């Protein structure tokens, strides 16, 4: 093992992705993801048999087909864009080690910490690529750090939902899309959904999504009626955060709105939920409901403004603990 040279390290962490667009790979990924008690907060004796005997055999082939529709030559969009984002941040942080990992799947968070430790790192800042905090996303990263961070001085940034650099990057990406494609009649910001019971138990995620949307609207100079928030990616039959993006799009089409621009600022990089669920499924649903065009605004991905914002967050004195 190398001697420590006190070079700080930054570890960007995203949720994860299957290794291939196949039923077997999707099943393995979803099993790891959905087995986490932070993600699905049901008794293990009830949930795990249901997951492995019923849900995964049925859902994995369906989800694999969805992944196949958006898979890139270099792999899953989330994996490709996360790696590119880490490279862009690294270029802005000379003197730092900058790596990336996935909370579920590969490259694993445990493996990334082990490699940093073996390379002589001692101080590691871990930045989950979730602008809004949730017990279902950010806390699993904290759990993994507690389990695998021995021998490292680890600090975690729990959210950046109103960070000025990030808000400006999102607003600028929307302006650039409008400059290139024209402006739709309505701007919809779609965030990943969460069971209502999780929020009722004290999770601040919904409040932070609302605060992010308000900050983005302010940066764009929009009036309240020109922007709308919705939640996507419902799973199961329980009550989830409202309004649901499907209901909102149907309502807009029914009210005579013909063009809607949709951005997903809760996602750092494009993935299945943005490219297939919004840009494909939601766009088709909007047309079927009477709308003319849903124009999806891509995530920040490895754009310069995004990399600048994350590099600034990584080197800031506040927010780390």
Q: Is 139 helix (H, G, I), strand (E, B) or coil?
A: helix
- In this structure, are residues 255 and 206 in contact, taking their beta carbons and an 8 Å threshold? no
| Tokens 């199961």 belong to residue | 236
CA distance 305 to 303: 6
218 marked as binding residue: no
- Long-range contacts at 311-316 (CB < 8 A, ≥ 24 apart): 311/89, 311/92, 311/93, 312/165, 313/127, 313/157, 313/160, 313/163, 313/165, 313/166, 314/10, 314/89, 314/93, 314/96, 314/125, 314/127, 314/157, 315/93
273 marked as binding residue: yes
| Closest residue by Cα to residue 14 from 142, 100, 136, 118 | 100
CA distance 275 to 278: 6
Would you state the structure tokens that stand for residue 320, as one six-digit string? 């780390």
Q: Per DSSP, what are the bridge partners of residue 16? A: 104
Binding-site members are: 192, 273
Give the residue numbers of the binding site for Fe(2+).
192, 273
């Amino acid at each position: 093992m190398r001697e420590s040279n006190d070079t700080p390290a930054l570890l960007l962490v995203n949720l994860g992705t299957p290794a291939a667009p196949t039923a077997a790979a999707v099943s393995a990924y979803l099993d790891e993801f959905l087995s986490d008690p932070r993600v699905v907060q049901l008794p293990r004796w009830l949930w795990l048999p249901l997951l492995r005997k019923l849900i995964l055999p049925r859902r994995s082939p369906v989800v694999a087909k969805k992944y196949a529709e958006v898979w890139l030559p270099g792999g899953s969009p989330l994996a490709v864009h996360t790696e590119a984002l880490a490279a862009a941040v690294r270029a802005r942080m000379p003197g730092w080690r900058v790596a990336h990992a996935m909370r579920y799947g590969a490259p694993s968070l445990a493996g990334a910490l082990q490699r940093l430790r073996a390379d002589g790192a001692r101080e590691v800042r871990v930045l989950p690529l979730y602008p809004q905090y949730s017990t279902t996303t950010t806390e699993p990263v904290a759990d993994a750090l507690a389990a695998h961070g021995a021998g490292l001085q680890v600090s975690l940034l729990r959210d950046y939902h109103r960070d000025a650099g990030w808000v400006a990057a999102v607003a600028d990406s929307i302006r650039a899309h409008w400059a290139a494609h024209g402006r739709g009649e309505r701007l919809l910001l779609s965030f990943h959904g969460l069971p209502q019971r999780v929020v009722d138990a004290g999770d601040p995620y919904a409040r932070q999504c609302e605060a992010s949307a308000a900050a983005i609207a302010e940066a764009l100079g929009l009036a309240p009626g020109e922007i709308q928030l919705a939640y996507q990616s419902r799973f199961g039959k329980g009550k989830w955060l409202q309004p649901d993006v499907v209901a909102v799009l149907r309502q807009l089409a029914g009210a005579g709105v013909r063009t809607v621009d949709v951005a997903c600022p809760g996602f750092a990089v494009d993935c299945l939920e943005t490219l297939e669920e919004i840009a494909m499924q939601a766009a088709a649903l909007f047309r079927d409901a009477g709308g003319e065009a849903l124009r999806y605004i891509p995530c920040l991905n490895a754009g310069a403004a995004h990399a600048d914002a994350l590099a600034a967050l990584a080197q800031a004195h506040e927010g780390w603990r």
